[in-house]
A and B are shown apart, each in its own frame.
Chain A
């Protein structure tokens, strides 16, 4: 049966459209406007067309930042997803220990980003930080402020510390939803522990794992606060990720035109990833509904 279409319902959406226009659409159009123009201050603008886009696409600076960004996201996914699953598998199934674990796991997620950055900044300092001091005393040269490799290790360790519990909690929820009959059947079929993981737990966790991967990818792709507080993007440009670079360009150098073009391209990339995210989710839902 065809349901009658009532177009008047759109009127009810108008207030929201107005609100979104003021908070997002109009500011974004300003950014679009900036990206095609040049300004030397004094609110004078000159039309430059696609010049900023062309320049940015040719600039090493943008590609380097994008490369660092992708490498960072790749590394933290490779660590956080398996580690999160392992933690979830090791967590107690019930009792007060399970509740305790859940609370402890949620703690890092509740700490504000800039506080996480500050914690690690102090933690890693060679003079007063517990980690930095211990490493230095053990004879390992470690200085995240001067050594690019050390800076990367610290940024990654920080992200793993901050976000692995999200993956673990999601995986834990997925594991808990597996009916006990599956484990009993596996016992009867003499399945090894690995087989149980490979053929029961992993397939049943697929849905939550996809969400975990996509959430962590998106979030790490936009990372700003923690490395900014920890290293400020240094040493040199070693930990300058896309968003840090963008802020440097827009507010540090006040290059409004290039920064606007940069942020629009950044926005398109995010939009593209969101689209992939959405498509994958919908396919999984369909798959699960078909079962």
Chain B
């Protein structure tokens, strides 16, 4: 098992790409470290599947290289790369039994039948298919079929990584949780590199140690779920992660103060005088309604979302959301909103900018945009 490095990787479906816009996948530099669980998160059409298919070798990149450890794997075929992939819709070989399905990749490699039988038995037990081995794969439910797809990847001992392309799309909601938990424990057990593509943030945040957020063919941020939540590197991450997403208010920033409509909000850092389109971003969870402190808002409506209340309000001419605990009483004279300056971010032309610490507190937040780390062979 090895680390997989993407070097200046870009892909276009046009035969002769001219401009940046022709690329479904813009230049990507990233290392998937060996044995980690990643989620590749982004909306439909942002290039996730393209990236995945390039890694598994189903697609040849227009530009750039893929390294497995230190060896260039760009020209290698799918089979030579030893990558397993689980697709959005369960792929099973209809006419075979579950056991034959699991044995198929091993049989194609011409392995010893006795070894295959043992291996299939073991994997089936691990993923909970041992009771179904003799059954025809065709009649099974979607979640069992998806387990077969996964099992066909796991039976191969030489597999470098397992790629999941939105594998839970067709699974019933109550089974999703169970399968995801099982995936996590399988990850711990096998120590395989896993890359999980999804557009569902809950899925991404619960599955992965590191989440890679893609937007418009680009990787905009790589980080732990907490980093994505607290210090989004791009307005898209702020908007896409969280429910509801981050609030953005157009401001002008001077030093550690944000000006908007004649009001001033204190910031935790000194940003100098950024030029360009500057917005202040604060998560709805970090906003608080007050009676007099902070910026003036008009409350439009309050939605009860179980444990929380989502308050929709207008701050000057921007619509914002405020999340409060269900127990918070909203009074008629709560006409202002404040936020914790340490939890606010400033974005300039869509990208988060770092400020210098105003006093003794040093910003220890680092936006981790490009992955580093050379490949290592196991």
Contact = CB atoms under 8 A, between A and B. Distances in A.
Contact of B89 (A181, A189, A200, A290): A181
A184 B87 contact: yes
Given A290-B139, A291-B138, A179 B104 contact: no
Interface stretch (B78-86, B177-185, B227-235, B253-261): B78-86
Given A190-B79, A190-B105, A192-B108, A184 B58 contact: yes
A251 interface: no
B94 interface: yes
B165 to A, nearest CB: 8
A291 B109 CA distance: 29
A187 interface: yes
Contact of B104 (A182, A189, A203): A189
A204 interface: yes
Nearest to B57: A187
Contacts of B94: 199, 203-204, 291
Contact of A190 (B91, B109, B138): B109
Among A184, A187, A191, A192: residue with most chain B CB under 10 A? A184
Contacts of A185: 85, 87, 91, 149, 152
Contacts of B77: 187
A9 interface: no
A189 B58 CA distance: 12
B93 A188 contact: no
Nearest to B138: A291
Nearest to B95: A203
Contacts of B153: 188
Interface string B194-235: 000000000000000000000000000000000000000000
Contacts of A274: none
A105 to B, nearest CB: 27
A41 B10 CA distance: 88
SS class, residues of chain A in contact with chain B: helix
A199 B95 contact: yes
A195 B108 contact: yes
Nearest to B83: A188
Contacts of A291: 94, 138-139
Interface string B48-90: 0000010011100000000000000000011100011101110
Contact of A179 (B57, B79, B89, B108): B89
A123 B85 CA distance: 55
Interface residues on B, range: 20 to 34
A187 B93 CA distance: 13
Given A188-B78, A190-B105, A291-B138, A199 B91 contact: no
Given A187-B79, A188-B56, A291-B138, A200 B93 contact: yes
Contacts of B88: 181
Contacts of B58: 184, 187
A131 B87 CA distance: 53
A189 B152 contact: yes
B96 interface: yes
B95 A184 contact: no
Interface string A257-291: 00000000000000000000000000000000011
A204 B91 CA distance: 12
A17 B128 CA distance: 59
Contacts of B139: 290-291
Contacts of A182: 91
A80 to B, nearest CB: 23
A189 B138 contact: no
Interface of B: 53, 56-58, 77-79, 83-85, 87-89, 91, 93-96, 104-105, 108-109, 138-139, 149, 152-153
Given A181-B89, A191-B104, 16 more contacts: A179-B89, A184-B78, A185-B87, A185-B152, A187-B58, A187-B78, A187-B79, A188-B83, A188-B153, A189-B104, A189-B152, A195-B104, A199-B94, A199-B95, A203-B93, A203-B94
7 contacts: A181-B89, A184-B56, A187-B57, A187-B58, A188-B83, A204-B94, A291-B139
Question: 4 smallest A-B Cβ distances: which pairs?
Answer: A181-B87, A185-B91, A189-B105, A190-B108
